[in-house]
Amino acid sequence: MYQPGKIAYKVPILPMRYARHFSRFMESQGINPAAFLEGSLITKDRLLDSDGFLSMAEILSVLNKAQKLLDDELAPFKFGQSLDIIKHGLLGHSLLCQHDIKQLLHTNIAYLRVCLPLMGIQFHQNGSQFSIQLEDSWDLGDLRTFIVKMYLGSIYALTSLICRNFSFTFDFPTTLSNEEWQKILRNAPVQFGAEKNLVSMRISDPNQSKAQDDDNIADHLAIATSKQTLELESTINVLVKVRQQITNNPGRDGTLERVAQQLGMCARSVRRHLKMAGFSFQDIRNEVRETFATRYLIDTSLPLEKIAERLGYSDQASFTKAYRGWTGKTPGIVRRSSITNV
């Protein structure tokens, strides 16, 4: 087992995309990425490096901060469940190789062992019965339980499409009731305080015809692409509605919280959809305000303080500063130019 302080903890081992997945998961839990990145060894800019890798020291620094911020014993398992075949990049391979389910199961777990080398994985098979056991490879300290849950959650997500009759054992205790765990384990038996961290399962019937294989491939592709399309359509729909709400109320009612309330959403969800579309709420609001301000300046004789009030600014000076930032000109110059050109 690798020990803290050793050079192995500084070797880049984990693709940066997993850090981005984790960042999005934390946002879904209501935690701003800046909150758990602060004081860690990872900067927000590094998350955008598609070719980057993280060292074990960096991984532990982020997870340690995240564990303190998350107030949910199930959260790491839920994050693991979010790492399905699509997140791991295994959708194509899984669909094309589903004619040999046993080999597919071996390959997917082997992929997990290589791409997420935070724990060792032992794979055992007895006929159609399989078990996957986790083993310590690193000294994880207080994060060991967190990472075990994360791993077993992902293994569950990777195998649930082709296996059934799951059961789980954990070598640590829990403060939650069995009913709370069953909600995310779909009534699979679970035992705590056992000797091993292990998930057992039975493989589904592997005797499928080629025609059935093709139907299954088409079905899974349709589901996967539909989810992506629906998510994109939902995001675009939110973007349009946000712009419309701000246009209807460009003043003090045009805040993120107020717009989210009008859409029947939480502010965090609105922000996430806009981010996926490549926009920020403030950018959209400023764009709408600039358009309104320019029309007021050119087409009306409203005093500047009234325009500022209509657009939600506390005073004329704040409005003037904002308008200069948008256009490079002061409201007074724009208004005088419009009068000169009449």
From first to last of its 342 residues, the chain has per-residue pLDDT tens of 666 667 889 999 999 999 988 988 888 888 887 888 887 778 877 887 878 999 999 999 999 989 999 888 999 999 999 888 778 887 777 766 766 778 888 888 899 888 899 999 999 988 889 999 999 999 999 999 999 999 999 999 888 877 889 999 999 999 999 889 988 888 899 999 999 999 999 886 555 444 445 555 555 555 555 555 555 556 677 888 898 899 989 998 899 999 999 888 888 888 888 876 667 899 889 989 999 999 999 989 899 999 999 999 999 999 999 999 898 999 999 998 877 664
Of 294, 286, 299, the closest CA to residue 246 belongs to 286
Q: Are 124 and 106 in contact (CB under 8 A)?
A: no
> Residue 224 has what pLDDT?
58
Q: From CA 323, how far away is CA 315, in angstroms rounded?
A: 13
Amino acid at 19: A
CA distances from 39 to 35, 95, 265 (A): 9, 41, 31
pLDDT of residue 135: 95
**Cα-Cα-Cα-Cα dihedral of 21, 26, 28, 29, to 10°?**
150
Structure tokens at 159: 């195998």
pTM: 0.63
β-strand partners of 50:
none
Q: Residue 183: enclosing H or E segment and its boundaries?
A: helix 178-185
Residue 292 in contact with residue 250, Cβ under 8 Å?
yes
Tell which residue, 98, 102, 99, 78, has the closest CA to residue 156: 78
